[in-house]
Structure 1
């Protein structure tokens, strides 16, 4: 069975974890700082703060910005639940932005529309999602966010290794050239894995210090105090990432370039193999400024024209040992948010959702696996 995504764990990864298990620290030890330093250097940020998972990273970002009840963030509707939920964790409201129907990304145009729906509430942050691994238009989004008195916080779990170029300015997702912070996840299907784990990058030393304090119950140890003394100026959380998992993260991070190259080769093979299935099937569009390391290989399929439902296609592919997934159900349609904000239409999000299907993509695949997936899809659709 080819799953839509899976981790690549090798003998040296296992050895790194075993070495950490034999060490003096299983948590809050030197491997955490080593992973943070290596990650910050890899993406080009001044600071990186490890935490329990990608959702914790988003929550910490909202806490570090001191987002308050009654304030608002804007998030795209095509994303995982956590992008919106992190605002609700701190009592803030969410305005959902539509997305481009062919990329799934928030755009300056859809952000401008969302800004019109603020209804007088103070906007604190805009959370673009680098869906699939392709980067949102950070330069354009930053200009609009700044004009509205807000900052960008990049939701970047899909985009580790992705590079961008806006005009003559080149960069890497996570370098925070356009944002206050960027958040990452190391869930097993992501580009590198720690089992569970997250990271926040920033170039702001004050934010980095708050992130570190808030991930450890809000505790501080005043200089000159007794060696056992600690104080809690504000409530934080237990969002620490143990040394054991950071050891795995360090080992995986050393392989990022290899994983990225493999994902790019497989994505190129998909684009070539899917071309004959157009216009019924085509890959999600890639923005010109983005050179992605794709986390997801999304095909946009005209199921109605194929005379089949998506469920029929998913089940037929599963019978052929091809796993798939859907990324994502528009968050504004979830029962909680419908009850809170009512029902409304975001046509780009609906068009994306109606057609999207994530096909297998992970470094352990061979080019022949891509051909097998596309051949199965061709058979199922009767092309």
Structure 2
């Protein structure tokens, strides 16, 4: 079976994990800090904070941006549910914006309308779908006019670049950017996430929130009379200064992810070659087309999504997926519009309010794209699609 996505692990990765296991420090140790520094340097951000998952990163970023009761957070209607759930975790309300039909990313025009209708908005989470960067200049301009913070959901986009050459994660157009290190993402930690920022106060708050709300670095004591004498803090003393969480990541996971990071540019280059080969193969087909046709040299290429006219093909999406699976090819759909989920329907959201997203969903199918996909495997996939869909 050729899956739609798959991680790559080599002996260097295994040895990096073994080294940590033998070091005697399994968590809250130097490997976490080394990985954070490596990510910050790679993307060009001042700070990086490693956490237990991309979802944890979204939650903490929403809190650090001030999302809470009485406020709203706007995100894309086409994304994984975690992007929206972050607003609810923080006690706020989620608002959805429709997508651009050519990029599957948040539409800046739709964002502007959502902001006008929701003046209580505190933050916006644009999602770099499939690794293709959003139009961040336009989104940042719209957000700035409304006085709201931007948090980039770059779970798909580690290694991607904006048109100006800066890397996603530099926070050139945002207050924070989050990444995911789930095994099907660009690099794997098993599970893990990261938040990057250039803001010192946000960085300090994220450090506290990651670890139970306890003071970090040189945070001033809130009860100095309880924790120090003659200006010297007691060596055992710490303060829980706000309600935080246990969202720490281990040195074991960071050892794997740091080793993977050293290969990221190679991973991205291979994915780009595969994506462009798909583009060439599907260019002459009349009943399907790539969901994203631009930005191939900027994308992180997490996914390759086709938009298929199933009525013209004469097969339902389910039938096509089953037929491909019988031939050893795994596919997936990214994503069901979040407003269509039963939980969000109960909150009053309606998928029909986002017609561009709904139309995209009716056509979408993700096909295999990963570093170890061989030329022979890709050719098999292309030939089958020409037979079944072309």
Interval of TM-score (by shorter of Structure 1 and Structure 2): over 0.9
**Conserved in 2, the CA contact under 8 Å of 1:95 and 1:117?**
no
1:146/1:370 Cα in 2 relative to 1: closer, same or farther (>3 Å)? same
Determine helix, strand or coil for the equivalent of 1:33: helix
5 Å-filtered alignment, 1:238-249, equals: 238-249=246-257
**Conserved in 2, the CA contact under 8 Å of 1:134 and 1:293?**
yes
Determine helix, strand or coil for the equivalent of 1:184: strand
Large movers: runs of 4+ above 6 Å: none
- Structure-2 residue corresponding to 1:86: 86
Shift of residue 325 of structure 1?
0.6
Aligned mates of 1:112, 1:237 — CA distance in 2: 33
Aligned counterpart for 2:207 among listed residues 209, 212, 216: 212
**Residues 7-46 of structure 1: CA distance to partner in whole angstroms, max 9, x if unpaired?**
1000110000000001121000010000000000001111
5 Å-filtered alignment, 1:319-338, equals: 319-338=326-345
**Conserved in 2, the CA contact under 8 Å of 1:164 and 1:289?**
no
Confirm or deny that 1:341 pairs with 2:336: no
**Residues 134-154 of structure 1: CA distance to partner in whole angstroms, max 9, x if unpaired?**
011000001111111101100
Segments of structure 1 that go 5 or more residues without pairing to the other structure are none
Confirm or deny that 1:197 pairs with 2:192: yes
Confirm or deny that 1:301 pairs with 2:296: no
Aligned mates of 1:263, 1:83 — CA distance in 2: 25
5 Å-filtered alignment, 1:91-110, equals: 91-110=91-110
- Structure-2 residue corresponding to 1:315: 322
**Residues 153-212 of structure 1: CA distance to partner in whole angstroms, max 9, x if unpaired?**
0000101111112xxx43110000000000000000000000000000001111111111
5 Å-filtered alignment, 1:1-383, equals: 1-118=1-118, 121-165=119-163, 169-220=164-215, 222=221, 224-277=232-285, 279-287=286-294, 291-343=298-350, 344-381=352-389, 383=390
- Structure-1 residue corresponding to 2:224: none
1:29/1:80 Cα in 2 relative to 1: closer, same or farther (>3 Å)? same
Determine helix, strand or coil for the equivalent of 2:212: coil
**Conserved in 1, the CA contact under 8 Å of 2:132 and 2:160?**
yes
Shift of residue 110 of structure 1?
1.7
Shift of residue 299 of structure 1?
0.8
Aligned mates of 2:293, 2:151 — CA distance in 1: 21
Segments of structure 2 that go 5 or more residues without pairing to the other structure are 222-227
- Count of residues in Structure 1 that have an aligned counterpart in Structure 2: 376
How does the TM-score come out when normalised to structure 2? 0.94
Aligned mates of 1:285, 1:257 — CA distance in 2: 21
Determine helix, strand or coil for the equivalent of 1:94: strand
How does the TM-score come out when normalised to structure 1? 0.95
Shift of residue 289 of structure 1?
9.5
Most deviating of 337-346 and 50-59 = 337-346
Determine helix, strand or coil for the equivalent of 2:166: strand
Aligned mates of 1:102, 1:241 — CA distance in 2: 37
**Conserved in 1, the CA contact under 8 Å of 2:40 and 2:46?**
yes
1:342/1:79 Cα in 2 relative to 1: closer, same or farther (>3 Å)? closer
Aligned mates of 2:208, 2:295 — CA distance in 1: 39
Aligned mates of 1:290, 1:141 — CA distance in 2: 21
Aligned mates of 2:82, 2:115 — CA distance in 1: 21
**Residues 226-267 of structure 1: CA distance to partner in whole angstroms, max 9, x if unpaired?**
222111011100000100000011100000111111111111
CA RMSD of aligned residues (A): 1.4
Shift of residue 101 of structure 1?
2.5
**Conserved in 2, the CA contact under 8 Å of 1:79 and 1:131?**
yes
